[in-house]
Chain A
Amino acid sequence: DTAVSQTPKYLVTQMGNDKSIKCEQNLGHDTMYWYKQDSKKFLKIMFSYNNKELIINETVPNRFSPKSPDKAHLNLHINSLELGDSAVYFCASSEGDSPLHFGNGTRLTVT
């Protein structure tokens, strides 16, 4: 069983569209994250949720809105997509002091 799974794996869309990426973890972890990896492989945290509550919200445009229906799920909705949003988005989870467990990523391409 995949510990942290995200869908879709690839997402190609046009500027101005709205899209969502879903993430689920079956590890029983309390905390989930969204990271963005740009074309230079630089990895930066976007959001962190602990037990469905937002605890980290880095400097991210408000077009990005995370939603956590329960502690096993953290979805990312993006409005009015822009070219600069093209990247690989990773979901991750952790519990207490455990290291991060990452999903396999969603490659978003905005044309």
Chain B
Amino acid sequence: KQEVTQIPAALSVPEGENLVLNCSFTDSAIYNLQWFRQDPGKGLTSLLLIQSSQREQTSGRLNASLDKSSGRSTLYIAASQPGDSATYLCALSPGGYQKVTFGTGTKLQVIP
């Protein structure tokens, strides 16, 4: 059974800092990994999708990496802004007809 862990559970940083969020998983047989953002009381917004054959994806100030051999993915946020404050979740798909498994999330607060 796939286990997905996100550390830290919560993170508070001053505006402008670069930061890294971590996602660890136990089963490297994944098809893709997706990072989501969730604002309080809202649904999930997709940020980046990394296919298993890829090592990283970039979108604006966000960069996500994937290392299947070590069972890790990181989400790098450059020059953080207060608007980045949200919960960030990673989700792994094993492909085929198998369900997507989510981590527990990291709650980020960027202080102005």
Do the two chains bind? no
Residues of A within 8 A of B (CB): none
Residues of B within 8 A of A (CB): none
